[in-house]
Amino acid sequence: MSSLQHVWARTGVLAVLLLPLAMLFAVVSGWRRLAYRRGWLHAVSVGVPVIVVGNITAGGSGKTPLVIWLVNWLRSQGYRPGVISRGYGGTACGCVEVQADSPPAQVGDEPVLIRLKTAAPVVVGRDRVAAAHTLLEYHPDVDVIVSDDGLQHYRLRRDIELAVIDATTGLGNGWLLPAGPLREPAARLASVDAVVQVVRDTAEPRTYRSITGWRADYSAGHAYRLCAPQEKLALRDLPPHDWLAATGIGRPQGFFAMLDRHGLHYRPQAFPDHHVFRPTDLPVGGAVLMTEKDAVKCREFAGPDWWAVGLEVTLENGFVRWLDARLKQ
């Protein structure tokens, strides 16, 4: 993914060569959007409000941490939220409910992390409508569904669309896949209910014409040992080690920059996004730092000095007020 992001960041020779495929992708995806807009294809209501947290770019934009924040906030407001997800990278067939000890290789790493961080019911399935029905069948008390990704899954009728953009990478070269990172044209942002820009470290939110966006600051939280997650330390209080910082996320640079900001000395090692970690990937006797998304895949064989770094998500007060008012309509 990092090599593709390098290509997508500019209008280079390879991106130009891929333009014919991008034009074909534009025709197919554009026809599908038109079919739902004109009523040739029909969206399905599942009977409770649905909030979709998605993006129009490929790669990691920071959707899952926002989903976790949103679910926990909804519960604090008296709602009973549930989550649906595709379960990307998992092998599960049909619709499967995620448990705290579900194998990430079966249901996907992000759904397991959401389940652990929120304790909300989570169901994975490629068909978002079927996943939502399954969720409500198992948990009829759920009164609002949050869809982790699914902005382009138009068959599921939604009440609120939140589009997430990483402020560092933005929309890349602005071209559609595979010549650029866009799943849909940038104009799609004008039709969502809110755009949330994820700001890490020293990045600044970008300005997009005719689009009002909210800011979400992502910063390092406490770290904890995978073998003793109840023991938490601030990054500055971690014991001095020859750290190995290993991660398999869409934008590993964001994780490394976060460690840099806290003055940690480490050797970086980036794996592909959604990498299925094995015991031989990392030194069992070494000191390892990783994201929580990586940690859920390493719990069964973690070394004694493997640490997960949590993430703190802070939304603008204006966004919180807007969301509260929108939900009450």
**206 pLDDT above the threshold of 90:** no
Contact 302, 290 (CB under 8 A): no
**130 pLDDT above the threshold of 80:** yes
Rounded CA gap, 94 and 304, in Å?
37
Res 3: pLDDT: 64
CA 111 remoteness from chain centre: 10
Give CA separation, 49 vs 121, 122, 146, 150, 299, in Å: 16, 16, 9, 15, 35
The tokens for 20 are 């014919």
pLDDT level of residue 94 (50, 70, 90 thresholds): very high
Res 208: pLDDT: 80
Res 209: pLDDT: 73
pLDDT averaged over every residue in the chain: 93
Rounded CA gap, 179 and 25, in Å?
10
Give CA separation, 110 vs 47, 214, 266, in Å: 25, 23, 25
Res 250: pLDDT: 86
Work out the percent of the chain whose per-residue pLDDT is above 90.
85
Residues whose CB falls within 8 Å of the CB of residue 314, separated by 6 or more in sequence, listed in order: 216, 217, 219
Res 61: pLDDT: 87
Q: Sign of dihedral through CA atoms 263, 269, 273, 276?
A: negative
Domain boundaries, the chain: 218-312
Res 322: pLDDT: 96
pLDDT tens per residue across span 182-205: 999 999 999 999 999 999 877 788
pLDDT tens per residue across span 161-189: 999 999 988 999 999 999 999 999 999 99
Rounded CA gap, 24 and 28, in Å?
6
pLDDT level of residue 2 (50, 70, 90 thresholds): low
Res 144: pLDDT: 98
In this structure, what are the phi and psi dihedrals at residue 37, rounded to the nearest 5 degrees?
A: -70, -35
Least confident of 55-59, 108-112, 124-128, 151-155: 55-59
Contact 57, 9 (CB under 8 A): no
Rounded CA gap, 89 and 248, in Å?
12
pLDDT level of residue 89 (50, 70, 90 thresholds): confident
pLDDT tens per residue across span 213-258: 899 999 999 999 999 999 899 999 999 899 999 999 988 988 999 9
Closest alpha carbon to 150 in 180, 168, 130: 130
pLDDT tens per residue across span 5-64: 777 887 888 889 999 999 999 999 999 999 999 999 999 999 999 999 999 999 778 999
How many C-beta neighbours within 10 Å does residue 125 have? 23
- Find residue 199's DSSP bridge partners: 217
Res 97: pLDDT: 98
**212 pLDDT above the threshold of 90:** no
